[in-house]
């Protein structure tokens, strides 16, 4: 029997990660591990980094996995609401002025190699996420490989640079003073330079400090390695910090199972046990995990299936049990013909958009360094045609244009923002107006190379529509599509415009801002506007909800008037799973289907 449900409601969602509901409780479950149990899920992009806090690794394909293998102080359920993960540790607001927070890891929290999680891990996380100890004024742009997006071998060995995108005006970047380590050895106290409205969201799951120090400094003993981390940070020892930062940036990047198994040291309910390049990654229940979110299923394999129709076929053939493919009309039709599955559809927390690359010293020859050309190109994007031909066949009239860079349709502030910005100027294609602007710009080389996922059928169709429309106005749109598009985002000179989705990970009001603040981790097109930066600084310390909306409405107006790029639509979301597995309760926030993977259970049908 097939069960189909539809959900179209959206909450106001915040923090963004590159994308590739029935309310539940906090996710804790006491049903216990079923030895020998296994299921297979599918995702449309391959994993490539266990560090989702770098500009290179910050992608849904990575963070789906990292969410399950790296534990932290909180997470979002599918209500959605923030859940404090007290079985990992606690955080306490000990002072409001100055804003002071103490993080403490529980005594029974250990890494998968048995090493306790403690202050060394928290201190390394602070150093990376704050960048307070970085070499001043260093620009890594000249040391980034345009073919892969990774740092090159020429990267200076004596430079301290954590690639977290932190800025001094926001988030953990506001903690410039080295934290104080508690006498228990499991806690640190952070003192913020000024109040920060989303202070409870700044501390993500840490990576194993002892592994970083062992690899970076050539230390063999775990305890000695952790002490070396503390000594380097508390002493601001650049000679030791530089190699540790370098390893933190790149050492956890791998596209198949690493020979060095210490690189997959985990703290969450699962750990990586097998990884075949571009095929699958397998997670096995972590025997050292002592938290509340203990796994029910011993082994979860995630197959990488970029083609959504192939994912549907794999579900029908019993090769996978859970899929959440990019939705198309063909997908919904194909799912209707499969028995023994449950299908849910609706609007998700991801939105499609096009970013245009700015100059700002990183792309001096980029065509979009000219604002007239940016405006002209935006006038050619067939937003409504994309929605009408590719999205409406999936979810009907609920498919609408998204007219805000900051607000989700239906959220408080969205209508005001859409009415106040210039998005209406791009509701319909204006080829004549675009051609006039292009001529006025004086630009003679009108080539625009667009980066997108070349193995994603919907993106291929979107690119074709954009190419046809823009070429009519005099542009020469060329194909920068790549299967490795995620790693190329933000690489200077690799492309001119990018077509992809931002997926929301948080309800925090400030956490979409690293996309637009100068130098932010998600600022992949080198956009910079002092007025926007000023608004972001004000938002960081604004606790009044009405004032937050007012500031964001003004910021949204500036983004459109700067010709930042265009938003297109909110993603239609389709989740389907077989009757072999239960407790699948998708969230609109990343990691969507994976948010409660520890609660998944195999059913009696799995044994038949």
**What residues does each domain of the chain span?**
71-206+208-250
Q: Can you tell me whether residue 511 is helix, strand or coil?
A: coil
Contact 371, 525 (CB under 8 A): no
What pLDDT is recorded for position 134? Answer: 97
End-to-end CA distance of the chain: 16
What's the length of the chain?
Answer: 608
**Mean pLDDT computed over 133-153:** 85
Instruction: Check: CB of residue 431 under 8 Å from CB of residue 475.
Output: no
* Rounded Cα distance, 411 and 12, in Å: 5
Residues 6+ positions from 47 with CB-CB distance below 8 Å: 61, 62, 64, 65, 255, 275, 281, 302, 304
Q: How far apart are CA 354 and CA 498, in angstroms?
A: 5
What is the pLDDT at residue 26?
Answer: 40
Decide if pLDDT at 293 tops 60: yes
What backbone torsions phi and psi does residue 337 show, to the nearest 5 degrees?
Answer: -95, 5
Q: Domain 71-206+208-250: what homologous superfamily? A: Dipeptide-binding Protein; Domain 1 (3.90.76.10)
> Hey, is 440 helix, strand or coil?
helix
Q: For the chain, give the mean pLDDT.
A: 91
Of 14 and 107, the one with more pLDDT? 107
* Measured CA distances, 563 to 143, 384, 416, 500, 516 (Å): 28, 18, 19, 17, 13
Res 146 pLDDT > 80: no
- In order, the DSSP letters of 320-369 are -SEE-PBP-HHHHHHHHT-SSEEEEEEEEEEEEEEEE---TTT-TT-GGG
Please state the separation of Cα 74 from the chain's center in Å.
16
Residue 516, pLDDT above cutoff 90 = yes
What does the buried/exposed string (b/e) look like for 80-114 if buried means 16 or more CB atoms within 10 Å of the residue's CB? beebebebbbebeeeeeeebbbbbbbbeebbbbee
Indicate the burial class of 604 (C-beta count within 10 angstroms; 0-12, 13-18, 19 or more): exposed
User: Is pLDDT at 608 greater than 70 in this prediction?
Assistant: no
In the prediction, which pLDDT does 409 show?
Answer: 85
Q: Is the CA virtual torsion 550, 551, 556, 558 positive or negative?
A: positive
pLDDT tens per residue, range 381-414: 999 999 999 888 877 777 889 999 998 888 889 9
Per-residue pLDDT band at 2 (split at 50, 70, 90) = very low
Would you give the DSSP letter of residue 388?
Answer: I
Give the rounded percent of residues in the chain with a pLDDT score beyond 70.
94
- The per-residue pLDDT for range 313-365, each reduced to its tens digit, is 999 999 999 999 988 788 889 999 999 999 988 778 889 999 999 986 767 77
Nearest to 263 by CA among 248, 279, 241, 278: 248
The band of 376, judged by pLDDT with boundaries at 50, 70 and 90, is very high
Does residue 221 register a pLDDT over 70? yes
Query: Mean pLDDT, to the nearest integer, of 146-153?
Result: 80
Which helix (H) or strand (E) segment holds residue 82: the answer is strand 82-84
Backbone region of residue 78 per phi and psi (left: phi > 0; alpha: psi in -120 to 50; beta: other values)? alpha
Using the predicted structure, report yes or no on whether residue 13 has a pLDDT greater than 50: no
Q: For position 503, what pLDDT does the model report?
A: 80
Q: Give the model's pLDDT for residue 605.
A: 63
Span 452-473, pLDDT tens digits: 999 888 899 999 999 999 999 9
- Which of 65-79, 237-251, 336-350 has the least mean pLDDT? 336-350
How much is the pLDDT for 346?
74
- In the predicted structure, residue 8 carries a pLDDT above the cut 70: no
Split at pLDDT 50, 70, 90, the class of 100 is very high
The answer to whether residues 479 and 464 touch, using CB atoms and an 8 Å cutoff, is no
* Weakest mean pLDDT among 215-219, 249-253, 583-587: 583-587
Q: 59 or 605: which carries more pLDDT confidence?
A: 59
């Amino acid at each position: 029997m097939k069960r189909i449900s539809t959900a179209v409601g959206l909450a106001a969602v915040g923090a963004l990660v590159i994308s590739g509901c029935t309310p539940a409780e906090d996710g804790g479950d006491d049903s216990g591990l079923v030895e020998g149990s296994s299921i297979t899920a599918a995702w449309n992009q391959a994993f490539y980094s266990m560090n989702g806090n770098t500009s290179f690794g910050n992608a849904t394909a990575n963070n789906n996995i990292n969410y399950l293998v790296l534990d932290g102080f909180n997470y979002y359920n599918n209500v959605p609401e923030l859940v404090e993960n007290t079985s990992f540790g606690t955080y306490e607001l000990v002072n409001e002025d100055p804003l002071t927070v103490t993080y403490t890891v529980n005594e029974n929290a250990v890494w998968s190699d048995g090493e306790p999680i403690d202050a060394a891990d928290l201190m390394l996380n602070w150093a990376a996420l704050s960048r307070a100890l970085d070499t001043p004024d260093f620009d890594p742009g000249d040391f980034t490989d345009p073919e892969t997006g990774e740092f090159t071998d020429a990267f200076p060995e004596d430079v301290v640079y954590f690639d977290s995108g932190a800025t001094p005006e926001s988030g953990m970047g506001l903690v410039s003073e080295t934290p104080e380590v508690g006498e228990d050895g499991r806690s640190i106290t952070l003192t913020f330079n000024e109040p920060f409205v989303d202070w409870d969201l700044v501390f993500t799951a840490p990576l194993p400090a002892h592994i970083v120090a062992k690899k970076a400094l050539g230390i063999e003993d775990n305890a000695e390695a952790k002490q070396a981390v503390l000594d380097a940070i508390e002493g601001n020892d650049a000679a030791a910090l530089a190699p540790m930062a370098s390893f933190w940036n790149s050492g956890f990047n791998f596209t198949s199972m690493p020979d060095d198994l210490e690189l997959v040291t985990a703290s969450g309910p699962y750990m990586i046990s097998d990884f075949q390049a571009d095929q699958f990654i397998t997670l096995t229940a972590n025997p050292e995990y002592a938290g509340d979110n203990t796994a029910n299923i011993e082994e979860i394999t995630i197959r990488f299936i970029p083609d959504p129709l192939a994912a549907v076929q794999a579900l029908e053939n019993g090769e996978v049990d859970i899929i959440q493919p990019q939705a198309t009309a063909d997908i919904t039709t194909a799912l209707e013909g499969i028995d023994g599955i449950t299908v849910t559809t609706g609007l998700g927390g991801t939105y499609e958009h096009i970013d245009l690359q700015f100059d700002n010293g990183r792309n001096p020859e980029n065509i979009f360094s000219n604002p007239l050309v940016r405006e002209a190109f935006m006038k050619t994007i067939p937003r409504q045609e994309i929605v009408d031909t590719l999205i409406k066949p999936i979810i009907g009239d609920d498919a609408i244009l998204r007219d805000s860079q900051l607000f989700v349709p239906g959220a408080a502030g969205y209508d005001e923002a859409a009415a106040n910005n210039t998005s209406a100027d791009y509701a319909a294609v204006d080829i004549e107006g675009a051609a006039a602007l292009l001529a006025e710009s004086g630009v003679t080389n009108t080539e625009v190379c667009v980066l997108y996922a070349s193995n994603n059928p919907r993106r291929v169709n979107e690119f074709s529509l954009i190419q046809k429309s823009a070429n009519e106005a005099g542009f020469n749109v060329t194909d920068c599509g790549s299967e490795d598009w995620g790693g190329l985002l933000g690489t200077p000179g690799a492309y001119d415009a990018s077509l992809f989705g931002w997926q929301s990970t948080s309800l925090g009001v400030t956490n979409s801002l690293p996309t637009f603040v100068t130098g932010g981790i998600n600022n992949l097109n080198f956009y910079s506007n002092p007025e926007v930066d000023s608004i972001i600084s004000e938002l960081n310390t604004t606790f009044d909800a009405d004032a937050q909306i007012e500031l964001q409405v003004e910021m949204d107006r500036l983004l459109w008037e700067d010709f930042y790029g265009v938003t297109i639509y909110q993603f239609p979301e389709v989740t389907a799973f077989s009757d072999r597995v239960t407790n699948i309760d998708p969230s609109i926030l990343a990691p969507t289907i994976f948010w409660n993977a520890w609660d998944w259970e195999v059913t009696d049908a799995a044994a038949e």
